[in-house]
Structure 1
């Protein structure tokens, strides 16, 4: 089952916040998720980003691919270095 780490939108009109979820890549944006690993609230000042580090690294090591936005959020929070790819790929 191809898994992806992506944002699921919640909140009201013009007041979004996002849960960072692990889901099957074929499921809808706000559909059934396998696990919730954090949240992102862009409307607060400063922007609030929170990850459950253990869950995030476990899913990344098991092969879940983050979306482009989640990859940027992971980089901001410093979790990309901790979660090296499991397949032996080298970054250049």
Structure 2
């Protein structure tokens, strides 16, 4: 199973709201969601982002690949920096 960290769009027309989720990228129809890691609301001022960093790090350490959009949000939340520090210290795969 190929695991991805990706954005899942929810919300009403013209007012998108996203969940940051971990899911199977090979399954039909977008794949099964394994876990929700946070939310992103691009319409707020500033845009609202909440991420459960511990769980995001858990999935990154186990080989989950973030999509480009998800990577940008994880970088904004500081998760990618923490992951790089863990890898440099030898605590990740």
Structure 2 length-normalised TM: 0.85
**Structure 1: unaligned runs, 5 residues or longer:** 88-92
Flag structure 2 segments of 5+ consecutive residues without an equivalent: none
Task: Quote the residue 1:50 is aligned against.
Answer: 50
Q: State the distance in 1 between where 2:81 and 2:65 align.
A: 15
Where do 4+ consecutive residues of structure 1 move more than 3 Å?
84-87
Aligned residue for 2:36, secondary structure, equals: strand
Q: Provide the aligned length of Structure 1 versus Structure 2.
A: 86
CA RMSD of aligned residues (A): 1.3
Partner SS, residue 81 of structure 1: helix
State the partner residue of 1:80. Answer: 80
Please state how far the C-alpha of 1:83 moved relative to its aligned partner.
1.5
Match of 2:59 in 1: 59
